[in-house]
Structure 1
């Protein structure tokens, strides 16, 4: 099916075409008609499925078709609540791209920057507001934001909202929303706490589920390196000498770790920078833009900072630290292997992280193959001494692949 068959108006079709899209993704195909009918939507989908366009496109059409004939002050008619500044900016960019021929106004607000420019935009009026919870509540309390004209409310990345401790902020926002509204609720996972929140917000919702989290990893070539913690940095530098890895995100558990890894890579003349919440918004946006534009080869990021990052043609993801939540692993590696492209996920695992690896294998219903490397034997000896029940044999090494995904018999390192 093509976008033309979804009943979209010409201004939006023109914008979609100019962005180079002709065929909707599965979540867009299922969600757009539901939203256009004015129904509430419960979407279980993660970053990389085309989720943003799945709600941005129909929202733009609904607002465009109901815009008053006489121009006047633009009240906030749609609110999109999202957990991070980076994701808020990306959603705003999507509304700019798809809505450029509609005449609708959109603005984005988030913390970490002075509020002056944001309050000026709000005074001038806007149709669509994209916001993070903290700054939204702050400006509501100051009297800059009123939601009594709201028609559509979108809660995006609901599971991440709860992980980041925003549940009380979300409840405060909800209390200010009109009872008569359309609500769109998106979450990558649907644990009981999320399902309970969805039930409290939605009225007879249509449900759309795309790519269950446990199966996302199936299309990505994964491998694990058993390595001692003290050898991880050297192993990372060894891997990054492979020039086929043109651009990669390296995930770490802590902000301090991200800074340290990036600093050490720079010392080895590897173009890297860190992305985490302690950096200023201007610094984070500059780093992200450099990575998207190809001026930065390695982005070392924490999970919260990297949530929502959408980079075209990203082939490699490296888990410097394994996450202690299995679903987080799937979110991480889901940033590669998009739109049918090749995707490679490399993970480092020390002795203490073996239980995390076991949980990940259980979730994705496969055993991630291990890779031989110069630091491997010491890691196996350490693990065997810590756990005598572990197999003594060295893990097997999967065949290396070239950029097209074919076996490269000449390759000796990866």
Structure 2
């Protein structure tokens, strides 16, 4: 990747935006930001093609905020919508909205933004739009509904952005986008941001752009091999489960991890399997409410938990779903894609438990790690490689793919594609030499635990999770609005208890640990004890403060005795 020649402070950006950029820890712009921001500030239409994790969102958000601030310096009394941002999924809309809030932290009074992607009653969102927010974020379907209801106007729109443009039509929004265009003014600036240049993107280009600049960066679809390591491991289904169990239980994989599977059922099968060993995980899939998915991603980014099991369902056909009448009624959210666009922050490891069914799906999965220009110190993947005949540590983004016999051809296609953008003649995928014979005790336990997760247990777990999340989403909504601190304690990695849990399964006896890992595991246990002690001390202090706060709030009239009127 080329080095940046222009820094943020050299782009004539408002000081308030520069302070927000500094707060986010961005020391220098990425390539797409360096090239794109100056062109957008000049008012040019643009089609941006850059790989996932390259910083496209900030590249179009910063110029939007800058133009709104400049406009308001001249027109102090104008309350109107100046920017409209369309995205194909609720999660991505929510993420863009939060990025805008971060970048407007020093000018929040001047620049107002709302996210209307949530599928709630439009009457609840209408008050947000009556104030004519400067920036509106939403899915095309939701934006069109509000436009048809005259809840806001685009008469004075300055900029329209379509993020992940190559997914908008494939998510079924072609009609909605065509209708939204009818509400646009005669002159506006348009931006299309995409990771690929598909036929759908070219259709959108003809529909929205005029004399556009094509910003197609000369960079590979993936982070360079110096920043992202690819590993492969041949294993059948049960052996995959053994290896995953060992990696987490022996702390061979540390840091934030996303485990990708190809179906929703496999999400819950893995969760129930790991639950039996005391390994807490949370799941993300299209059946969960959008508010739950956004909250899960937020807590993951805030380090509430470290492991997410995600089903990447974009490329799945009907043949992967059971054909029974009962399962055909499952409600999936079409506005869902985990592998695309979502910014999982500082992910150390991506594990393909099921190898992706498509080249681009692999690219977008492993693009969840080694993102942007995050410093190497953030990629905290520590793997004791003496166990694998090596004597060093990796401290960078890592992708590990488990492959069975049927998935070998898919791997070859991915490797051939990645090699096209690399001049060096070397293997992309390194061998992950896991010694199954040294963890025979784990293997015995894991196979029993894997077989214990039956189809009935998976079905019950799915229903239980959906009911639990719907309860949190609906019945407790007003409570969480009044008690926002309590929302922070709501977790998505709780045990589902549809498989019998045995206490001894979560412990690892000393005799089961391979000889080459004994010192490492002992050291990790001591560190964990220190961390838990610090956490206990921290929460004790918080509890004391909370009790004092409750005492102050107590009604002092309670407990007072009424003696009645005294006789004179």
Q: Take 1:129 and 1:274, find their aligned partners in 2: how far apart are those partners? A: 29
Where do residues 22-61 of structure 1 align in structure 2 (5 Å cutoff)?
22-61=27-66
Alignment size in residue pairs: 380
Whether 1:353 and 2:399 are equivalent positions in the alignment is: no
**For residue 474 of structure 2, what is the aligned residue in structure 1?**
none
Q: Take 2:250 and 2:39, find their aligned partners in 1: how far apart are those partners? A: 46
**For residue 216 of structure 1, what is the aligned residue in structure 2?**
223
Structure 1 vs Structure 2 CA RMSD: 2.4
Residues 141-175 of structure 1: CA deviation (Å, up to 9, x unaligned):
33323322211000100122233233333223223
Q: 1:71 aligns with which of 58, 72, 77?
A: 77
**For residue 313 of structure 1, what is the aligned residue in structure 2?**
346
Deviation larger for 43-52 or 14-23: 14-23
Q: 1:134 aligns with which of 131, 141, 147?
A: 141
Q: Take 2:237 and 2:141, find their aligned partners in 1: how far apart are those partners? A: 37
Whether 1:241 and 2:243 are equivalent positions in the alignment is: no
Where do residues 381-400 of structure 1 align in structure 2 (5 Å cutoff)?
none
**For residue 362 of structure 1, what is the aligned residue in structure 2?**
416
Q: 1:280 aligns with which of 286, 289, 292?
A: 289
Alpha-carbon deviation of 1:28?
Answer: 0.9
Q: Take 2:517 and 2:186, find their aligned partners in 1: how far apart are those partners? A: 62
**For residue 147 of structure 1, what is the aligned residue in structure 2?**
154
Alpha-carbon deviation of 1:242?
Answer: 4.0
Alpha-carbon deviation of 1:356?
Answer: 1.5
Q: 2:397 aligns with which of 343, 347, 355?
A: 343
Is the CA contact 1:310–1:335 (under 8 Å) kept in the aligned structure 2?
Answer: yes
Q: Take 1:114 and 1:253, find their aligned partners in 2: how far apart are those partners? A: 33
Q: Take 2:169 and 2:411, find their aligned partners in 1: how far apart are those partners? A: 24
Q: Take 1:49 and 1:214, find their aligned partners in 2: how far apart are those partners? A: 10
Deviation larger for 39-48 or 163-172: 163-172
**For residue 392 of structure 1, what is the aligned residue in structure 2?**
none
Is the CA contact 1:9–1:61 (under 8 Å) kept in the aligned structure 2?
Answer: yes
Residues 348-373 of structure 1: CA deviation (Å, up to 9, x unaligned):
11222222212111111154223233
Q: Take 2:308 and 2:299, find their aligned partners in 1: how far apart are those partners? A: 10
Alpha-carbon deviation of 1:81?
Answer: 0.4
**For residue 355 of structure 2, what is the aligned residue in structure 1?**
322
Is the CA contact 1:227–1:375 (under 8 Å) kept in the aligned structure 2?
Answer: no
Q: Take 2:262 and 2:367, find their aligned partners in 1: how far apart are those partners? A: 17
Alpha-carbon deviation of 1:257?
Answer: 2.1
**For residue 405 of structure 1, what is the aligned residue in structure 2?**
none
> If you compute each CA radius of gyration, which structure gives the higher value, 1 or 2?
2
Residues 302-347 of structure 1: CA deviation (Å, up to 9, x unaligned):
3313433323332101111222220121111122123242111001
Is the CA contact 1:217–1:333 (under 8 Å) kept in the aligned structure 2?
Answer: no
Q: Take 1:235 and 1:112, find their aligned partners in 2: how far apart are those partners? A: 40
Deviation larger for 87-96 or 239-248: 239-248
Q: Take 2:43 and 2:413, find their aligned partners in 1: how far apart are those partners? A: 40
Q: Take 1:279 and 1:311, find their aligned partners in 2: how far apart are those partners? A: 18
Q: Take 1:114 and 1:374, find their aligned partners in 2: how far apart are those partners? A: 55
**For residue 268 of structure 2, what is the aligned residue in structure 1?**
259
Is the CA contact 1:337–1:343 (under 8 Å) kept in the aligned structure 2?
Answer: yes
Residues 95-147 of structure 1: CA deviation (Å, up to 9, x unaligned):
11222333111101113444444222012221100111222222223332332
Is the CA contact 1:217–1:364 (under 8 Å) kept in the aligned structure 2?
Answer: no
Is the CA contact 2:51–2:221 (under 8 Å) kept in the aligned structure 1?
Answer: no
Residues 54 and 151 of structure 1, relative CA distance in 2, 3 Å threshold: same
Unpaired runs of 5+ residues, structure 2, are 1-5, 313-336, 377-395, 420-426, 438-515, 522-568
**For residue 193 of structure 1, what is the aligned residue in structure 2?**
200
Is the CA contact 1:292–1:311 (under 8 Å) kept in the aligned structure 2?
Answer: yes
Q: 1:334 aligns with which of 367, 373, 384?
A: 367
**For residue 164 of structure 2, what is the aligned residue in structure 1?**
157
Q: Take 2:183 and 2:122, find their aligned partners in 1: how far apart are those partners? A: 21
Give the 3-state SS of the residue equivalent to 2:192 in structure 1.
Answer: strand
Is the CA contact 2:21–2:103 (under 8 Å) kept in the aligned structure 1?
Answer: yes
Alpha-carbon deviation of 1:301?
Answer: 1.3
Give the 3-state SS of the residue equivalent to 2:338 in structure 1.
Answer: helix
Residues 187-246 of structure 1: CA deviation (Å, up to 9, x unaligned):
101123323332332111122233645443533111111121343333322222242422
Residues 245 and 46 of structure 1, relative CA distance in 2, 3 Å threshold: same
